[in-house]
């Protein structure tokens, strides 16, 4: 009888160890859920938008740079935006070059021309693209939509 009690205790200890190992592995597996090819869910999103810049001369560089879309990194680690694209409803597209966006930082993507810095980048366009009713879509370097922002539909301003 004592041999069977010892066997039951050994089996119980073995099963308990398996449960502990399995529960330790579960959070790691759950953490991988939602990753894109080993990459964490993006902390990069569209922030504020200034569309249809004020003033009469819509084609001056000042007016063009008066409209912008902010791209924010809400995470604590820097993200390289190389290959990320920002598009409007009409298909106008800006593709980021080698640009590191620091953690908890933002960059404004201006329509006109200027000198790129760590807070402002420029599309180099000669006409405004962000209309009173439009949608900005941010895609990652694998063309996956990671953020959209729409405005102007019946006075609504939505963010997705």
pLDDT at residue 141 in the model = 97
Nearest-angstrom CA–CA distance, 106 and 109: 10
How much is the pLDDT for 12?
Answer: 52
Is the pLDDT at 149 greater than 60, yes or no?
Answer: yes
When pLDDT is cut at 50, 70 and 90, the band that residue 115 belongs to is: very high
Q: Please tell me the predicted confidence (pLDDT) of residue 19.
A: 41
Span 2-32, pLDDT tens digits: 556 555 565 455 444 444 444 443 333 333 3
Query: Does position 103 have pLDDT exceeding 90, yes or no?
Result: yes
Q: Which CATH class is domain 44-149?
A: mainly beta
- As a whole number, mean pLDDT of residues 30-39 equals 35
> How many residues are given for the chain?
160
Contact assessment for residue 157 and residue 147, using Cβ atoms and an 8 Å cutoff: no
Q: What pLDDT was estimated at residue 17?
A: 47
Give me the pLDDT at residue 117, please: 97
d(CA 125, CA 69): 14
Instruction: Tell me the backbone φ, ψ of residue 26, rounded to 5 degrees.
Output: -60, -50
Q: What is the CA radius of gyration of the chain?
A: 25
Predicted confidence (pLDDT) per residue in 43-100, tens digit = 999 999 998 777 677 679 999 999 999 999 999 999 999 999 999 999 999 999 999 9
CA–CA gap between residue 37 and residue 32 (Å, rounded): 9
- Report whether pLDDT(155) > 50: no
């Amino acid at each position: 009888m004592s041999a069977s009690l010892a066997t039951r205790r050994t089996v119980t200890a073995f099963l308990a160890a398996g449960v502990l190992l399995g529960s330790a592995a579960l959070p790691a597996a759950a953490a991988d859920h939602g990753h894109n090819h080993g990459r964490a869910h993006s902390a990069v999103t569209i922030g504020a938008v200034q569309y249809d810049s004020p003033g009469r001369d819509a084609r001056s560089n000042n007016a063009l740079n008066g409209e912008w879309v902010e791209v924010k990194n809400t995470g604590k680690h820097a993200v390289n935006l190389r290959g990320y694209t920002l598009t409007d409803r009409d298909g106008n597209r800006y593709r980021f070059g080698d640009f590191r966006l620091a953690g908890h930082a933002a960059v404004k993507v201006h329509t006109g021309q200027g000198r790129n810095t760590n807070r402002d980048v420029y599309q180099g366009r000669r006409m405004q693209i962000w209309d009173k009713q439009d949608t900005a879509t941010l895609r990652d370097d694998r063309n996956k939509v990671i953020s959209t922002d729409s405005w102007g539909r019946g006075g609504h301003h939505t963010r997705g």
